[in-house]
Chain A
Amino acid sequence: MDTSALKNSTLSFMKSFNFIAVLYISVVSAVTILKIGNSGGAVMFLKKVNTLPPVPGKMLLISLSFFVLLMVLMYVHDNYEIKHQWAVIVMEFICTVSVIAALQVNYNGVILLFVAHIMKYFEGSSKKLLPLILGSTFFLIFDFNACSNIFDIISFETYTEYYIGTVAAILILIKNLFATLNIILFIVYTILHLREQMDEKDEINSLNERLQDANRELEMYAAESEKLAQTRERNRLAREIHDTLGHTLTGIIAGIDAAQAVADVSPETLKRYLSLVSDVARQGMTDVRRSVNELRPDALEQRDLLSAIRKMISQMSAASKADITLDNSAGRLSFGEDEEEVIYRIIQESITNSIRHGKADRVKIRITREYNIVTITIKDNGIGAENIEPGFGLTHMKERLDMLGGKIQVDGKGGFCVMAEIPIRWGKEND
């Protein structure tokens, strides 16, 4: 059985125990009062006391009624949602005091039951001790000797004087046993309560540790993925170099070789070849410029996304003579840094693909937005692709989108079409 269950059963036991104690005190007092009244000792009894004893039936009824009411309040308090918790606690307290008053402070254990009950409603380090402090204060205040100096009350012992020695001693012993056992129960409950809170703390600590572990792992993943991104970027550079400088240099070498072969034979042909080589070299130069432009990491840092895209488009169309148009219906584009980066790169990559692989001379870009989904469509009139092989660029794009929870669709029929959906985080665009 765990601490919490043990604690709850201790409280339940305490409730039953207190009920029996209240029943015992009130029944013994009531029966004794009746016996005194019927046995001819009433005048003697009244000479001994300073006040009338409570009416037997009434005392029984009042003490038990308030006890039952207290139990009902505790049940409602524990099982129903309550708006004004303080009101319930005050009502419970009134019931507690009423029970004690009905018993003429001959049994004050109910106050401990009350404290045990409200303890769980006082959480937080500042309030945790409040019920204990209040409880011990009231426990001391509702002491028979303390109260008998202020109020006229009759002690249980005075009632038991009616009986002969042994019976009186046993009756008092039982009463004291109730009081003592109740205190022990209360201490046990308090210890369990504190232990439960310590257990909770332990659990929070272990959860915290696990969270830190996860955090560390995540950091490692991030480092790894950064490395991966570096590798990818290098691969891309390698491909760029291969695609641009490689082709160009190959062309130049081939052209120069050819020029060498015909140099002595036909100066005319040589001139033509040299002119071709020159063209290839110029083309290469353009490609290198474009590539360098693409690789500039600060394109986005200097301006907002839309003007960065516009600048990119104008540079690319200048370099490739292709007609690139942008249709933005998403309004002002202002998202998270990572989101802007992804959008920028997707558009850049797609245009490069269209020009380089698709040989297109017209590219249409459309940016739309519906709620928090930004959709980017890049469509060209190039040769397209019957079978879309997940090449370098597409895989890269897909990976970037995955990180933001986005999707990508490509269609190679009748030109090439890329459609990317990016979910945008809320809040950023209004900054």
Chain B
Amino acid sequence: MKKKIIGKKFAAGVFLAAVLAAAAASAYYFQQKRTITLGFFTGSPWDVPDAYTYQLIDDAVEKFEADHPGVKVKYVSGIQKDDYSEYIASALIKGNAPDVFFVLPEDFSTFAGTDALMNLDGYIDRDADYDTSRYYSASFEFGNISGSQYGIPFESVPSMMFVNKTLLKNEGIREIPEDWTWEDFYEICDRVTKDTDGNGIEDQFGVCGYTWQHAFMTNGVDFFDRDGTNCNLLSENAIEAVDFLKEMDGLTKGNIVTADDFDKGNVAFMPALLSDYRTYKPYPWNIKKYTNFELDCITLPRGERGDNNSTMSTLLLAMNSRTDNEELAWELIKTFCYDIEIQSEIYTYKGGASVLKTVTDSMTTMLSINQVLSEEGGMDINLITSIMDHAEPNYNFKDTTSVEEMIGAGINDIVKNGTDSKIGLQMTEKQVRSFLNE
């Protein structure tokens, strides 16, 4: 076959087309560079009433745009918290997710596990002004998976123990020490569980909503390595914790105690989040709940081998791994998560706590909390700082939810059926391991 020589015109045409395409692409790219998109939801991530979402967002956006002239932050408003996970997941799949978006604690492992989130280690290392030690370590660590940072904390809520002060006063219990133990806890619960109206049925109880997670956390059970590859439920700590749960369950004498009973003032203790306390303690929400007793909060009781620790749930801000605006995205994340002014607004507008130690510790914060809480005599700021300092981050590997459900079901069986704790945990551990190996 006779072959033709490639014509100069043809080559020139191809070259011209390539140049035009490159020019169009770069024009589009630079246009894109001037806008940055943000994903957020309205409402509280902790399921408490929240009416001020936009104030904080708008302040942060305004501040960011003032610091970066010519750059516009674009966002879609009106997405409810319940629809938010699906909204972001859908946008990620379709490839039109925002450059920067908030990540709910329950979504973080899923998104990070699909490489949807940018690894931020490089930015953290390069940014000389950025000091990670200014964060509460439990807050910051939650954004870390296998040693790499995929999310920066924005707002945290530690778990704590709600106390019905009125009930305790009536039962002659005055002070609960800050480092109270399971023994103290059991004793008080035992004391208050009784039939007050004399109809033969117990109607006042010690605690509701106390789960295996609280027991594990406060007895130093480290049942997973942090990347979720191995499970160890057979430590003495874990067995003790399950034994304690059995004891506590024995106190209710077969009655089912709910949060509703606590709201009515019939229960002495209930584990809850800081956001619940900050929302329902002051006006206006205090008229909706806890109206007939004085509410207080304390640390969770500790087991023999543990501490008065609490778990900390954290709302993160993450960068889309497919963003073209990496530098601006990092700056925007910093505006939300590292700017003292914006972080301070969490205490004004949101239910959780600032992830920055300086903000939570600072006098102004103290003042604003005290202002808010003043009607009931104020909340001990030292308690929050201490709880946050000692908090442990929640597990954040990909199957956390499924695995925790599995362990929960296993421990529930042990408690309800009175199975030997060790044997029961052995079986549960086997189940979990086979699930993880799938």
- Contact for B95 among A56, A80, A82, CB less than 8 A: A56
Do A52 and B116 contact each other (CB < 8 Å), given the known contacts A40-B86, A43-B107, A76-B6? yes
B288 at the A interface (CB under 8 A) = no
A34 at the B interface (CB under 8 A) = yes
- Contact for A46 among B3, B4, B93, CB less than 8 A: B93
B113 at the A interface (CB under 8 A) = yes
B9 at the A interface (CB under 8 A) = no
Q: In the complex, which residues 29-73 of chain A have their Cβ closer than 8 Å to any Cβ of chain B?
A: 33-34, 36-38, 40, 42-43, 45-47, 49-58
B115 at the A interface (CB under 8 A) = yes
CB distance from A312 to the nearest CB of B (A): 56
- Contact for A51 among B86, B114, B398, CB less than 8 A: B114
A79 at the B interface (CB under 8 A) = yes
Do A42 and B115 contact each other (CB < 8 Å), given the known contacts A80-B5, A81-B4? no
CB distance from A148 to the nearest CB of B (A): 14
A152 at the B interface (CB under 8 A) = yes
Bound complex: CA A312 to CA B107 (Å): 115
- Chain A residues whose CB sits within 8 angstroms of the CB of B113 once the complex forms: 46, 50
Bound complex: CA A56 to CA B321 (Å): 16
Cβ contacts B105-141/A at 8 Å (1 or 0 each): 0010011011110000000000000000000000000
Interface of A is mostly: helix
Do A80 and B114 contact each other (CB < 8 Å), given the known contacts A46-B89, A52-B92? no
Bound complex: CA A379 to CA B85 (Å): 116
Q: Is the CB of B114 within 8 A of A49?
A: yes
Residue of B nearest to A58 (CB): B95
Q: Is the CB of B115 within 8 A of A57?
A: no
Bound complex: CA A55 to CA B90 (Å): 11
- Chain A residues whose CB sits within 8 angstroms of the CB of B8 once the complex forms: none
- Chain A residues whose CB sits within 8 angstroms of the CB of B116 once the complex forms: 46, 52
Bound complex: CA A52 to CA B111 (Å): 9
Cβ contacts A382-407/B at 8 Å (1 or 0 each): 00000000000000000000000000
- Chain A residues whose CB sits within 8 angstroms of the CB of B174 once the complex forms: none
Q: Is the CB of A33 within 8 A of B4?
A: no
Bound complex: CA A89 to CA B127 (Å): 45
B253 at the A interface (CB under 8 A) = no
Do A42 and B92 contact each other (CB < 8 Å), given the known contacts A47-B398, A52-B114, A52-B116? yes
- Chain A residues whose CB sits within 8 angstroms of the CB of B85 once the complex forms: 43
Q: In the complex, which residues 1-59 of chain B have their Cβ closer than 8 Å to any Cβ of chain A?
A: 1, 3-6
Total count of chain A residues near the partner, CB < 8 A = 28
Q: Is the CB of B110 within 8 A of A47?
A: yes
CB distance from B95 to the nearest CB of A (A): 3
Bound complex: CA A52 to CA B118 (Å): 12
Bound complex: CA A34 to CA B4 (Å): 45
Bound complex: CA A15 to CA B90 (Å): 35
Bound complex: CA A115 to CA B95 (Å): 34
Q: Is the CB of A42 within 8 A of B3?
A: no
Do A55 and B95 contact each other (CB < 8 Å), given the known contacts A43-B107, A47-B398, A50-B114? yes
Q: Is the CB of B94 within 8 A of A56?
A: yes
Bound complex: CA A36 to CA B114 (Å): 16
Do A46 and B6 contact each other (CB < 8 Å), given the known contacts A33-B94, A55-B94? no
- Chain A residues whose CB sits within 8 angstroms of the CB of B322 once the complex forms: 52, 55
- Chain A residues whose CB sits within 8 angstroms of the CB of B6 once the complex forms: 76, 80-82
- Chain B residues whose CB sits within 8 angstroms of the CB of A52 once the complex forms: 92-93, 114-116, 321-322
CB distance from A423 to the nearest CB of B (A): 34
Do A46 and B114 contact each other (CB < 8 Å), given the known contacts A36-B93, A81-B5? yes
Bound complex: CA A152 to CA B322 (Å): 16
Cβ contacts B184-210/A at 8 Å (1 or 0 each): 000000000000000000000000000
Q: Is the CB of B95 within 8 A of A57?
A: yes
- Chain B residues whose CB sits within 8 angstroms of the CB of A45 once the complex forms: 89, 93
Q: Is the CB of A42 within 8 A of B4?
A: no
- Chain A residues whose CB sits within 8 angstroms of the CB of B111 once the complex forms: 46
Q: Is the CB of A37 within 8 A of B4?
A: no
CB distance from A2 to the nearest CB of B (A): 15
- Chain A residues whose CB sits within 8 angstroms of the CB of B398 once the complex forms: 47
- Contact for B110 among A43, A55, A76, A82, CB less than 8 A: A43
Bound complex: CA A38 to CA B90 (Å): 7
- Contact for B86 among A43, A50, A76, CB less than 8 A: A43
- Chain B residues whose CB sits within 8 angstroms of the CB of A36 once the complex forms: 90, 93
- Chain B residues whose CB sits within 8 angstroms of the CB of A82 once the complex forms: 3, 6
Bound complex: CA A54 to CA B95 (Å): 8
Sorted from nearest, which 5 A-B pairs have the closest CB atoms? A55-B95, A42-B89, A42-B90, A37-B90, A81-B3
Mind listing 6 A-B residue pairs with CB under 8 Å?
A: A34-B94, A43-B86, A43-B110, A46-B114, A47-B110, A55-B322
Which of B's residues lie within 8 Å of A, judged by CB?
1, 3-6, 85-86, 89-95, 107, 110-111, 113-116, 321-322, 398
